[in-house]
Amino acid sequence: MELISESRCFDGMQGVYRHASAATGCDMTFGLFLPEEARQGPVPILWYLSGLTCTHENAMTKAGAQGWAAEQGIALVFPDTSPRGEGVADDDAYDLGQGAGFYVNATKTPWAPHFRMWDYLAEELPALIGREFALDMDRQAICGHSMGGHGALTLAMGLPGRFTSVSAFAPIANPSASDWGRKQFSAYLGEDKTTWAPHDATLMMREKGLDVPVLIDQGGSDQFLDLLRPEALSEAMVARRQEGNFRVQKGYDHSYFFISTFMEDHVAFHAEALYA
């Protein structure tokens, strides 16, 4: 593992690291914020999964999460959104290929050799950071935005018992019924829609739900509402009687201004579960 940078931040340390990934077959980069308490021993972890076009850097520099995490003594992990580099398949469109991994294991060419983001986030990266840093791997929570909100919800439901809590900002809530999903799932997984269901938060919520609390924030003036389909997830949560809170924030859009406004709430929500 290669250290790219370290910066002191709220009495902790914000680092950026690169490593060779067996899951994706290329070098992967991630950010990790360690609060001051990590000097004394392992601390709980909050994963933050980013959205379309993002790298590890977007949330790390724009979400305003480190200050709130430092107050709670929580580490923050900022993974990349896809494999990258020479020889990694890509597409001219912003919503397919590099920067648009959708947190799935692709099975179709040309994506299958590298686009294995589910394995990377479910297995490889947790194992790596658990070995290398002062982290309490028995206390993990997960959050994400847009495509990353989709990833946070589906990973939490697909890995029961892994996370103490899950939250999302404007998640792609029902990708099987949206152009932000049908296009990518067809490319990565093929036309058999039974392979899509384990990566659709609404379908998963209807089938299994979560045994941990959920917090969803959706901007009421989000320019992508028709693609996100928040109403489908909300209806599924009500039908499931899922423990959680689904909030529509009047006047907010899809941007990091929205995320940074409510990040304190999300970190506090996860801290309550992580320290329960």
The pLDDT tens digits for 216-240 are 999 999 999 999 999 999 999 999 9
8-state DSSP, 164: S
Give the span between the Cα atoms of 179 and 152, in whole angstroms.
19
Q: How far is CA 185 from CA 6, 43, 98, 205, 253, in A?
A: 36, 36, 15, 19, 26
Task: Give the mean model confidence (pLDDT) for residues 194-208.
Answer: 97
- 248-264 residue pLDDT tens: 999 999 999 999 999 99
SS3 95: coil
- 74-85 residue pLDDT tens: 999 999 999 999
| Cα-only R_g, the chain | 17
Place 171 in a pLDDT band, splitting at 50, 70 and 90: very high
Query: Domain of 179?
Result: 2-275
Report the domain count for the chain.
1
- Beta strand pairing status for 12-21 and 2-9? antiparallel
Place 267 in a pLDDT band, splitting at 50, 70 and 90: very high
pLDDT at 161: 96
- 126-170 residue pLDDT tens: 999 999 999 999 999 999 999 999 999 999 999 999 999 999 999
Which residue in this structure is represented by tokens 């939490």? 156
Let me know the angle formed at the C-alpha of 20 by 101 and 128, rounded to the nearest 5 degrees: 90
Q: What's the CATH code of the domain at 250?
A: 3.40.50.1820
Order across the sheet with 43-49: list the strands: 2-9, 12-21, 26-34, 75-79, 43-49, 135-145, 166-169, 214-219, 244-249
pLDDT at 54: 98
Record the tokens describing residue 225, joined without a space: 């509402």
Residues serving a catalytic function are: 146, 222, 254
User: What backbone phi and psi angles, to 5 degrees, belong to 220?
Assistant: -70, -20
